[in-house]
Structures are given as C-alpha cells and as structure tokens.
C-alpha cells in the first residue's frame, strides 16, 4: 500500500510540474500563431488524442458562426473555411457546450443523437471532448478534441486536466489578442491610420531582403504634399487633417495589397512597391498624382487643388541599403520640387 501511495504521489507531483510548465508557456506566448500551435500540441500530444480544433466565435452563441483558426498542420487567423460551423442553434452538442462553459465528453459520437450527421462528417471524430474558450466573462470560441476511433474512456482526472488547459488557453488567447491590438496601434499613424515611421524602416529592409533573394526589383516613392502649409493656412488645420486622411485612403485603395503605405513625416508619405521596376513605379505614381490633383477634398475652400510631388528610387540599381534607397528617393523628390512641383521624378545619379 505504501508503494502504491508513493507512486501516486510521484505521479501527482509530475502532473503538477507539467501543468505549471504548460501554464507558464501559454501565458508568456503573445504571438497568436505560436500560441495556437502550442495549445494544439498540449491538447493532442498531452492527452494522446488524434486531433483538435480551435474555433473563434463570431457573433452570438446562438446566431453566430464558429470559424476554425487552428487544427494540427493548419493555422489561419482568417479561418479555415471548410471547417466552419454555422447554424449553431441547430447543433445541439455545440449549443450545449457554449451555454455550460464546462467540458463535455462524448465517448461514442456516432451513437449520440445530440451530434448531427453534418458535424460528424466535418470533424471525423468518434470520441470527443468539447469545451468553451472563455475569459473574463466573455466567450471567445470553442475547443474540440478527440479520437477518430473509440479508445479507452477518458478518466475524470484527464477531463479535469483538459479543462484546466483550455481555461488557461482562453486567458492566454485574450492576452495575446490584446497585445496584438496594442502592437497594431504602435505601428500605425494615429491621424491617418497608415503605417508609421517606426514600422517603415524594418519593413523596407525586409522587402529588400526578399527582393534580393528572388532577384526582383523593388521601388520606393517618397511623396510630399505641395504647399501644404499654405493649404492649412487657407483652409484651416481641420481641413488639412482631413486631406491627409483622404490622401491616405486614395493611396491604400489604388495600390496593391502587397504595397506598403507609411506616413513618413508631417505631410510626407513613403510607398514601398515590391516587384516593381522604375517604369512601373513611374506609371503608378503618375496615376496617383493625376487622381489627387483632380480630387475634390472636403473642406477645401480655395479653388487651387492640392497636388503632390514624388521621388522614386529602385533597388538594386540606385542603392543596396535601405537608408541609401530612401536618400535616393528623397533626391528624386527634391528634383521634382525644383522642376515646379506637381511632378514625379525618378532618381538619377547624373541629375543635379
């Protein structure tokens, strides 16, 4: 009896130590992709389960949808469409789990009338363990884990450990989402919503490394609003702020998703154009220049339209380092200003 008791105490100590390590790793991981992978690993390998799904709840627990963001081998914050669960009120086992916030064990899903044929076909699990992802009074989503075929029944201790990990995962996910929002705010300009200077340089270096690896050109444009001080003085600072926001929207809407728009300074913007040569960049900027010249900015009282000037430099022809590429684009901008403004100039080392 003493030997049996000693083994039980040793096992309990090991489980307690493992639980502490899992909790520590979950609560100190703020990258959402890494966190989701960590949760999946602890739920599958930790309990010898074949599969697991992590779902985000979009909308209410009755009329919303559950969008799968992680399953072993696939993690997508935008959602894995083929695994989406809709019509939650019609899925009895899902509704029951979302309402109770407690782990629900299904030992033989094929014989359980609460599991719809559609859900069984979607998940392909015969033995299931479901629990709500919950943090600070808010339902975040749902975890479903289990086995493709019936194995030994899960013990109450295993279910309790599973529940503890899911509860910690809910708190960790909320922390990571909050951290991501804070990071997002620190990398965007407060007025325009464009990326800011802090984001711009690391992103430019990253894009230049990719351009180098794949032997592709990359162009950079530095854009400046012509006579913006006069525009502010004439129309007022509120109109000036509005114009900056509208220009940002024009840039974002007209450029590709792979292009990067950043507010570089007061009335200056930087645009990173991956896989774009000089000629392509010149055409893009000319189209933008014409659109802005003819755009009816709200709050504008003067008949003189707002215009832009821009300088363009291209990697690897004009520079091989980020700062040098910016300096070259700045010189192109200087050339555009000297030519009378409302101009786009491609940097040339031979130009004055």
Give the residue numbers annotated as catalytic, written as ranges.
267
| Two structure tokens written together for 106 | 């299904």
Are the C-beta atoms of 260 and 346 separated by less than 8 Å? no
| Two structure tokens written together for 277 | 């040569």
| Two structure tokens written together for 344 | 């786009």
DSSP 265: S
User: What is the DSSP annotation of 201-233?
Assistant: HHHHHHHHHHHHHTT--EEEEEEEETTHHHHHH
| Two structure tokens written together for 99 | 């309402």
**H-type alpha helices, the chain:** 2-27, 32-44, 92-100, 117-123, 156-186, 197-213, 228-235, 237-254, 278-293, 322-338
* Residue 178 CB neighbour total at 10 angstroms: 11
Are the C-beta atoms of 137 and 102 separated by less than 8 Å? no
């Amino acid at each position: 009896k003493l030997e049996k008791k000693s083994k039980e105490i040793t096992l309990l100590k090991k489980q307690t130590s493992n639980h502490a390590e899992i909790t520590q790793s979950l609560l100190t991981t703020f990258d959402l992709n890494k966190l989701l992978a960590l949760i999946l690993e602890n739920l599958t390998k930790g309990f010898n389960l074949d599969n697991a799904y992590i779902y985000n709840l979009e909308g209410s627990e009755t009329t919303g949808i559950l969008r799968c963001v992680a399953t072993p081998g696939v993690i997508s914050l935008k959602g894995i469409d083929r695994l989406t669960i809709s019509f939650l009120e019609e899925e009895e086992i899902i509704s029951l789990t979302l309402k109770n916030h407690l782990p629900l064990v299904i030992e033989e899903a094929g014989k359980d009338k609460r599991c719809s044929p559609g859900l069984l076909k979607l998940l392909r699990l015969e033995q299931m363990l479901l629990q709500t992802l919950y943090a600070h009074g808010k339902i975040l989503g749902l975890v479903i884990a289990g086995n493709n075929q019936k194995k030994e029944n899960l013990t109450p201790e295993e279910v309790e450990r599973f529940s503890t990990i899911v509860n910690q995962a809910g708190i960790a996910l909320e922390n990571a989402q909050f951290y991501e929002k804070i990071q997002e705010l620190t990398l965007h300009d407060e007025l325009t919503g464009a990326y800011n200077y802090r984001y711009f340089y690391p992103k430019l270096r990253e894009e230049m490394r990719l351009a180098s690896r794949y032997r592709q050109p990359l162009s950079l444009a530095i854009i400046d609003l012509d006579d913006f001080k006069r525009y502010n003085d004439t129309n007022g600072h509120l109109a000036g702020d509005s114009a900056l926001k509208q220009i940002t929207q024009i840039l974002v809407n007209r450029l590709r998703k792979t292009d990067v728009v950043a507010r570089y300074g007061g009335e200056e913007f930087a645009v990173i154009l991956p896989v774009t040569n000089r000629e392509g960049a010149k055409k893009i900027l000319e189209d933008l220049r014409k659109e802005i010249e003819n755009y009816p900015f709200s709050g504008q009282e003067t008949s003189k339209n707002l215009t832009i000037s821009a300088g363009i430099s291209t990697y690897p022809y004009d520079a091989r380092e980020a700062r040098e590429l910016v300096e070259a684009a700045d010189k192109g901008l200087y050339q555009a200003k000297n030519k009378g403004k409302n101009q786009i100039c491609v940097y040339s080392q031979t130009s004055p």
